Amino acid sequence: MRPLTLQRLLLRCAALAAVLFVVVVVALKLGAVPVSLYGLGRDLIRVMLGQSRGISTDYGMIVIDIRLPRILLGIVVGASLSVAGTSFQALLRNPLADPYVLGVSSGAALGAILALIVEPHLAISPEFAALFTPVGAFLGATATIAAVYFLGRRGGQIDSSTLLLAGIISASFLSAIILFLMTTLIGRDMRGMAFWLMGDLSTPLQQKLRWVLGVGFFAAAGAIYTTAADLNLLLAGEKEAMHLGVDVPRVRLVVYIAASVLTGLAVSVSGAIGYVGLLVPHAMRLLFGSDHRILLPAAAFGGAIAVVIADTLARTVVAPAELPVGAMTAMAGAPLFIYLLRRRLA
Amino acid sequence: MLFIVWPEPLITIGKDTFIADALRHAGAVSIVDSSQSWPQMNLEEVVKLQPEFLVFAASHGGIAARDFEALSSLPGWRILDAVRNRKFAVISDAVNRPAPRIISAIEDLARQLHPEAFIEVQEKEKLEKEIPPKTNRSSANPAHKAMNLEIPSEEACACAR
């Protein structure tokens, strides 16, 4: 294997960025209203220059105000899930690990559902009401992360296998609570729950949340990237990594918290979109090898590409209606996973 | 108009539901003509079709008004004319049940969407109070009277998209 140089890293990232760019342009073009490439470019430049008033037509507004934010949301959610999945697979040294394995998504779903239940009984301003469910989801995710962290310790440190078991059991316990709530609640809340359980990018995000999401993604993904070289050594085993000078407890803590935050952010704005965090890391590993210094950025691009494609299909296949994006990723994900698995065995 | 069953994700009604049928009696034409019963709508599509009214069904007005405010604070929804001009109608959630009270919900919606069609009725009622007609049976129930008198014309339907 050739050693990784900065040039090779940048070259691969540039290639993936180019693919992402093409996917985004196609996704911007497809949808309810027709838009020409020329008009698209002109409108985008106007927005970047801060002259959004120059866009006069309603169609331009649809693309800039609805389609573009949704695609950007898909990029951040996909990249978060995929980076979190890669990190958990390395941290737990388990190829089946995904962002949801430690119960973060169930915690977020439960938080969101509880928020949906209490919200009508509280006298809060409408502007805050729109923030209520994502905030509830994030609090649910954070509480789960903390609980699993304390359950997953052995001798004062995180222990990978204890953590995995604590996460799995927490997830199934939380799912049981969700099922209980679903059977006892009225119909109006059921729809909202289906949203959290399936994953959906159709709800536009408030301006403030966009900033939180963007900054949170770069901070958490950056923190994980600082441990990329250590994660490579961790693949050989925790003892081996320790002998090679890796501060294993610190790496575990940083990766665990950062990956959980990424998952929590993604789930709180989009629900649980399955398979992206499991499949994209494996696909990227087949393409680029398992050096985390390149695997992590590749996974970020790959996840973004996968979710944008899936969401574009979700909103165009049955137009004028749409499908939840989670249904698309699950339908495409499972067969693809089986294919990758069999190919590796052959 | 667009009947909002659930705002996040946006669920509306298809043409074969009894709610759609009830709304048609109120002179309301849904912008969605889906054969799916409870389609999840694409927001782009809604903006393209520009419904004149958003219609909410709620057990009391407060919930729907708050739903509307929450929607109007979201990017994307803000470019809907109905949101910009604050055109939304709230009716009783009796419209969600195929039971006798659905009639008053239909009338309520018709009043909100086509106030002009009811001016005539009010004047007639006023006249009737002043000069009581001899056969008084049909005016005993104003709801039925309004329903029978004012089946909105094609034009009125078109204006309430």
pLDDT at A16: 94
Phi-psi region of A334 (alpha: psi -120 to 50; beta: other; left: phi over 0): alpha
**Contact between A66 and B43 using a beta-carbon 8 Å cutoff:** yes
Q: What is the mean pLDDT of residues A119-147?
A: 78
Q: For residues B84 and A85, which has the higher predicted lDDT (pLDDT)?
A: A85
Per-residue 3-state assignment (H helix, E strand, C coil) for A298-325: HHHHHHHHHHHHHHHHHHHCCCCECCCH
Q: Hey, what are A15's tokens?
A: 């290639």
B48 close contact with A: CB closer than 8 A = yes
pLDDT one-digit tens code per residue, A229-240: 999 998 888 888
Domain segments of chain A as ranges? 70-345
pLDDT at A189: 58
Model ipTM value: 0.71
Domains (ranges, CATH) in chain B? Answer: 2-159 (3.40.50.1980)
Q: What is the separation, in whole angstroms, between the first and last Cα of chain A?
A: 22
pLDDT one-digit tens code per residue, A43-66: 777 777 766 665 656 677 778 888
Q: Residue B101: enclosing H or E segment and its boundaries?
A: none
Contacts of A243 by beta carbon, 8 Å cutoff, 6+ apart:
none
**Contact between A126 and B9 using a beta-carbon 8 Å cutoff:** no
pLDDT at A42: 76
Contacts of B105 by beta carbon, 8 Å cutoff, 6+ apart:
B22, B57, B91, B92, B94, B95
B64 close contact with A: CB closer than 8 A = no
- What is the Cα–Cα distance from A228 to A255, expressed in whole angstroms? 10
B5 close contact with A: CB closer than 8 A = yes
Taking any CB pair shorter than 8 Å as contact, residues of chain A touching chain B are 31-33, 58-59, 61-62, 65-67, 69, 120, 126-127, 129-130, 133, 188, 191-192, 195, 200, 202-207, 315, 318-324
pLDDT one-digit tens code per residue, B38-70: 888 888 888 888 888 888 887 666 677 777 877
Select the residue from A56, A135, A188 to test the B interface by mutation, using most B Cβ atoms within 10 A: A188
Which residues of B fall within a CB distance of 8 Å from A65?
75-76, 78-79
Q: What is the mean pLDDT of residues A261-275?
A: 87
> What CATH architecture is A70-345?
Orthogonal Bundle (1.10)
B161 close contact with A: CB closer than 8 A = no
Strand partners, B3: B55
CA atoms within 13 A on the CB side of A17: 7
- Which residue in A129, A133, A320 is closest to B42 by CB distance? A320
